[in-house]
Amino acid sequence: MTDTPNRVAALGECMIEMFRRPDGSLTMGFGGDTLNTAVYLARLGTPVDYVTALGDDSISDDMVAAWAAEGVGTGHVLRVPNRLPGLYLIETDASGERRFLYWRDRAPARELFALPQTAELSRALEGYGIVYLSGISIAILGEEGRGRLFEVLERVRAQGGKVAFDTNWRPRLWPDLDTARAAFDRMLALTDIALPGVTDLRDLYGDADADAVLARVRKAGVTEIVLKLEQPGCVVIENGEAVEVPAQKVTTVVDTTAAGDSFSAGYLAARLRGEGPADSARAAHKLAAAVIQHRGAIIPRDAMPA
């Protein structure tokens, strides 16, 4: 049985985030899809630990301190001597759409399941109620790392824990489509709560539309699905029926960074409070609507919705 049934382990990579303003000036922060979700989970009162690997440099120290200040557990952040975290640059266009540039090839998180501390970490993960990860999480690990991760996820489920997966398809992180499809097939088969995007799986598999994506995820055996649509909104499966939940209307979109990450946090936090899928999706939309009205992945605390 799980040791902490309501505690989430969010697994992935956090990088140095540089935001380029229209005047060319830069501001620095920290960001990564699953890290963003972990921060929002903590702000929503959900016990959560972040699972990653960083260097032994001062910026890595600052990252860990910042996460701890947000209430995110850092006991499973592995540190690798003489290494540095990855870095990415965000540029946004006039409509708020974002473009990312990455420097991450030597990031320690890529070796999360190939380090001396990995065996101890793997055992610890088996005690969580939910292990949350994304398509980026599995992409950065490589073939061997993914294989070890999948073995851990099998044991998590055997112990009564659940696996939550946000598809977050990033083609540049994969060597070819066949490798990516095989990894996603395996990952979906290990997933209890899926948060796929229609565009993600359409681009990865060539699925024709939302119905085809939903059918694929259901066929993989996933019991709880939150399908993010191309237009603002999602479809959830509640009492065996597909229910569409529209997103909140936002008049001015400033920056869509972390919209999906915050949505995942809002949904999982609500489900852990005991709310049903449709109500949880409404809570998720509410948080995402607040996030896209601010710049950067993590909005100010006072901008969090009630």
* Cα distances (angstroms) measured from residue 116 to each of 80, 122, 138: 10, 11, 20
Catalytic residue at 261? Answer: yes
98 close to 256: Cβ distance less than 8 angstroms: yes
Rounded Cα gap, residues 244 and 226, in angstroms: 10
Alpha helices in the chain (DSSP H): 33-43, 58-69, 118-125, 135-158, 177-189, 198-205, 210-219, 259-272, 277-291
The three-class DSSP label of residue 260 is helix
Rounded Cα gap, residues 201 and 219, in angstroms: 14
Active-site option among 255, 261, 279, 302:
261
What are the residue numbers of the active site? Answer: 261
